[in-house]
Amino acid sequence: MFGYVTVNEPELRIREYHLYRSYYCGMCMDLKDQYGQSGRMTLSYDTVFLALLLTSLYEPAETQRSVRCVVHPLEKHPTRQNTFTRYAADMNIILSYYSCVDDWNDEKEMKKKLMANALRGKCEAAGRLYPEKAKLIKEKLDQLHELENQSRTDAASSGSPSLLLDEAGGIFGDLMAEVFDYQHDTWGPALRQVGYYLGKFIYILDAYDDLEKDRASGSFNPLAAMHEKPGLDDYVQGLLTMTISSCTAAFETLPIVENIDILRNILYSGIWCKFDQKRMKRAQETAPSSVSRERTAQDE
């Protein structure tokens, strides 16, 4: 359920893109330093956004380096690391572990089980650094899993997929609100709103993105009951628009100057890239069948 909160690269200036990549690479180094090579494999654009947001708001001291790594062995590249890239790395490990566990439970994909086993000890280590946040993350994911299991057997829930989607998205939003509220200070309420609505956006978009795959595998998806209804794409786009509007309204109340153009690029443009790609793909897949039905009608 990760990888949606990224930049729209063509819309960034070159300097901004390289600055963004320096935080991305900095988080990658934090994951390697704290959790080894398997830790850095979990790096998510979503938690890079978290690191960049908190860095831009609180403006901590940073360590800047030029390093080589496994991905870039021949040429040094800049990295930026600070308190918030490390915090985001810790949250990334916890979320990645539970994501692998969830994928294993749903799809029984062996590589997810192996990855979960590799991350279990790292998740426990990160949880010891932030016990309250780790506890709430687990509670919310357990609550979400319980709702999803109930929906599989409760016939009544299938009659109101929009309510189910809102409830499930709200649970994931609560989880992300706690992750974004780093230290419960003056800016905590606004950060919680950003995290809540961004989490809800991620959940809805993930359900839309995985709809065909989940139907094929029999995995839970709150949009499954609506998959054949006309206007599904417009319906999801409307939900996403309302959700991200609330997110950006909270974001704009934060006194951020540094990296503001990069953050706005992500929230106003980058997060729509995956939706636009998926919608175009769905349109291409349904177009042949639509043409076939039109020809059949004409023949009759």
Residues 6+ apart with CB under 8 A from 300: none
pLDDT given at position 33: 93
Q: Which residues pair with 81 in a beta bridge?
A: 63
Flag whether pLDDT at 203 surpasses 90. Answer: yes
Q: What is the pLDDT of residue 289?
A: 52
Question: CB within 8 A of 31, min separation 6: which ones?
Answer: 39, 40, 42, 43, 89, 92, 93
- Check if the beta carbon of residue 141 is closer than 8 Å to that of residue 100: no
Alpha-carbon distances of 292 from 47, 116, 216, 280, rounded to whole Å = 44, 45, 23, 19
pLDDT reading at 253 higher than 80:
yes
pLDDT (tens digit per residue) in 99-150: 898 877 777 778 888 988 999 999 999 999 999 999 999 999 999 988 988 8
**Could you give the CA distance from residue 84 to residue 200 in angstroms, rounded to a whole number?**
23
Sign of CA dihedral 73, 79, 83, 84: negative
pLDDT value of residue 229:
81
Q: Can you give the pLDDT at residue 154?
A: 61
210-238 average pLDDT score: 88
- Mean pLDDT of all residues belonging to the chain: 89
Tell me what the mean pLDDT of segment 38-48 comes to.
92
> Three-class SS of residue 68?
coil
pLDDT per residue as tens digits for the range 88-109? 999 999 999 998 988 777 777 7
CATH superfamily of 9-269: Farnesyl Diphosphate Synthase (1.10.600.10)
Domain boundaries of the chain, sorted by first residue: 9-269
Backbone CA torsion sign across 242, 248, 251, 252: negative
pLDDT band, residue 237 (cuts 50/70/90):
very high
The pLDDT value given to residue 108? 72
C-alpha to C-alpha distance for 29 and 78, rounded to whole angstroms: 11
50: nearest Cα among 218, 257, 198 = 198
Task: Return d(Cα 254, Cα 274) in angstroms, integer.
Answer: 26
Token pair recorded at residue 294: 């039109």
The Cα angle at residue 289 between residues 287 and 292, in degrees rounded to 5: 110
